[in-house]
Structure 1
């Protein structure tokens, strides 16, 4: 029986044109972020089981691919009460938890304020479906050690620059703050130990609407929540809210000082990247429980999808160090972003092709190829075929823009006759 030829479910192969497009987009993102002072790092694909299941990864911890300990036998399998006892490693399910561990590991070698750029694949045991994969790339930038809103400002300005460099338009940064949401919950009488549960329900607003959210809150929390206060908030929050501290404070049942902090950095960013690109969304939650302050989502209204998100997570690094360390990060959703970016704009350098025959002297052919490479060109060799249309079609899929035919006599480079493909 022949082995199955396809990749594992939820994972993908990439043909050369796709891979070139992905690499070109990643190169642009990396270049722009580094221009803004973010330093590239990398971490192992595998992390210790206890690191990945330390309570920092939220629901993603349940989606971790776990690795069995070496040397297990049937006696070990019979003796355990939990499968976790059989594992000591796991594939990283995001880049935030590894970053927190990385900073704790290398704290003495890093600057007091560290700007990290981490672009790498992650793995989650998702149920595969359209747009949701078990292996995918994340593009994260994080600022660790900066307690002020300078972090939020830098993260969004750098990300907007990367998006603009990719030719992405029409995007919006939706912003909110967990502390403002906490004020809403307190005004509705939600007990502190129920805050996360209620926020998870609020996070479903876009999918189930106001009535759906209220029905779930009533079912799960009953008389423990002031449904009238929550309905009032949701109805008022459905209308656009300007970046105004007084208006936000009134809506969120918060102090004007707490609203002013958000307005300060968000308005500054809007002034720098475009006022239409930053909007306050009082119902923005983002499901991860580790957020402690600002929360951000990159949204594309025309596509109706999120292209990334992030926020402040001041408590995470301290879980490894034992000392509080402020941290804020943002992640571009690369797998969705790649579908938005025009592949023709970011296809990378075009390639040349030398089409040769059986009579072409290979030594001379390779000499011409070497000269072209030395002059900065990428060069593909292709043997001639009777069906030139099919041959040129194959070469176009390889990113070739011009071809030169080389017969039994190989001319000097400056005497080659080039033909433009696609004309």
Structure 2
């Protein structure tokens, strides 16, 4: 967990402002949910490995005897926990407030989440997620809206060459079935396939054999991985999708993916190549995905900048009635370190450097006059090292300064640029 200094905070807010602006332009409305959810909801088996990283809150009123007697059962010790993502709280929010929401609800949710990660570079225990979701629409239009809006937001941040890797969990299930993997071993097989970018095809096959997966299925998968066209993720369209899958891929799944690509091309006003790449081995580890899954990529970095997918089964757990849902989460912490936005120059940011003998009333009058003209104003007492004071102010985002002596009439200050 980190302290965020003023200049960094201002930069983060500028990035968030751009994201919010673009998402609102696409018809999404911002909501807010509590940072705390019920323990049972956070540990319902839908959060994958994140459930193991959740911070739990001790039950109120527990005494020492109660803690000792419940020590073997974390659920008996805790009834609440800090949210580890924004999707589980959103599902609960929708189930609780559905009567007040439109039939198709498009949400923005931005906020901190907490996971008990190992401290390391780029891994934080508290970090911001930036999600958009659509509930109530089971058509490819929902995925297309999410992808177009997210590509628009990323482009507005200056990352114009972004693309999205896309797959479908139904295609993965069909592929594993076609190879001959038994249903009970598929979750473990998917965990291994998810490491393809890290350990390569040879490592994948070796790990599957170590898992004692069905030998004939591993042989079939090994042969599939050795095909030259299997790993050629260069474009998007029906031919490319079918070429990247085993023969006989289900027509409805292929048509769903193709429809998303056509809609994204139209929404981004593209006449050439669609910024989507079909990746038959994209897995994403969350167990609640039921259909399309995607990850945001940019050529400047080797890691993803966001992702999401369709999770049609989650809301039904809370509502007792199935509701289609799909979401996309931008990796805000990665984005904010990557993008370069200009400082907000709509208003001047002025430091008033005053002598010690300037009366408070005069100083406040000067400050009020500048604020009235639309400036942002900070007051600083003159120090012996004026240069260091001004450099610090510039680092904090101030663009100009003025010196104030006793008796300066209001409106008479000479404003000078910093730097």
Whole-Å Cα distance in 2 between the matches of residues 23 and 251 of structure 1? Answer: 41
Kindly provide the CA deviation profile for residues 10-65 of structure 1, in whole angstroms up to 9, marking residues without a partner as x: x1001111111111111211121111111111111110001101111111111110
Other-structure match for 2:311: 313
Q: Choose the corresponding residue for 1:240, options 214, 218, 233.
A: 233
Other-structure match for 1:255: 250
Other-structure match for 1:38: 28
Alpha carbons 2:157, 2:341 under 8 Å: kept: no
RMSD: 1.7
Whole-Å Cα distance in 1 between the matches of residues 115 and 317 of structure 2? Answer: 23
Whole-Å Cα distance in 1 between the matches of residues 220 and 237 of structure 2? Answer: 22
In the comparison of the two structures, how many residue pairs are matched?
A: 411
CA distance 1:398–1:243, change in 2 (3 Å): closer
How is 1:232-381 mapped onto 2 (pairs within 5 angstroms)? 232-236=223-227, 237-240=230-233, 242-253=235-246, 254-273=249-268, 274=270, 275=273, 277-345=275-343, 350-381=348-379
Alpha carbons 1:183, 1:252 under 8 Å: kept: no
How is 1:185-196 mapped onto 2 (pairs within 5 angstroms)? 185-196=176-187
Offset of residue 295 of structure 1: 0.5
Whole-Å Cα distance in 2 between the matches of residues 165 and 240 of structure 1? Answer: 26
Offset of residue 266 of structure 1: 1.8
Offset of residue 230 of structure 1: 0.8
CA distance 1:373–1:348, change in 2 (3 Å): same
Query: Which sections of structure 2, spanning at least 5 residues, go unmatched?
Result: none
SS at match of 1:325: coil
Offset of residue 391 of structure 1: 1.5
Other-structure match for 2:124: 133
SS at match of 2:378: strand
Offset of residue 101 of structure 1: 0.5
- Which is further off, 133-142 or 107-116? 107-116
Alpha carbons 1:245, 1:256 under 8 Å: kept: no
Alpha carbons 1:118, 1:140 under 8 Å: kept: yes
Alpha carbons 1:142, 1:329 under 8 Å: kept: yes
How is 1:103-118 mapped onto 2 (pairs within 5 angstroms)? 103-118=94-109
SS at match of 1:306: coil
CA distance 1:348–1:316, change in 2 (3 Å): farther
TM-score in terms of structure 1 length: 0.93
Query: Which sections of structure 1, spanning at least 5 residues, go unmatched?
Result: 1-10
Alpha carbons 1:233, 1:251 under 8 Å: kept: no
Alpha carbons 2:85, 2:113 under 8 Å: kept: yes
TM-score in terms of structure 2 length: 0.94
Whole-Å Cα distance in 2 between the matches of residues 224 and 346 of structure 1? Answer: 60
- Which is further off, 205-214 or 216-225? 216-225
Other-structure match for 2:49: 59
Kindly provide the CA deviation profile for residues 347-380 of structure 1, in whole angstroms up to 9, marking residues without a partner as x: 8855111111112222122112112222222111
How is 1:7-26 mapped onto 2 (pairs within 5 angstroms)? 11-26=1-16
- Which is further off, 346-355 or 23-32? 346-355
CA distance 1:307–1:75, change in 2 (3 Å): same
Other-structure match for 1:147: 138
Other-structure match for 1:418: 415
How is 1:378-417 mapped onto 2 (pairs within 5 angstroms)? 378-413=376-411, 415-417=412-414
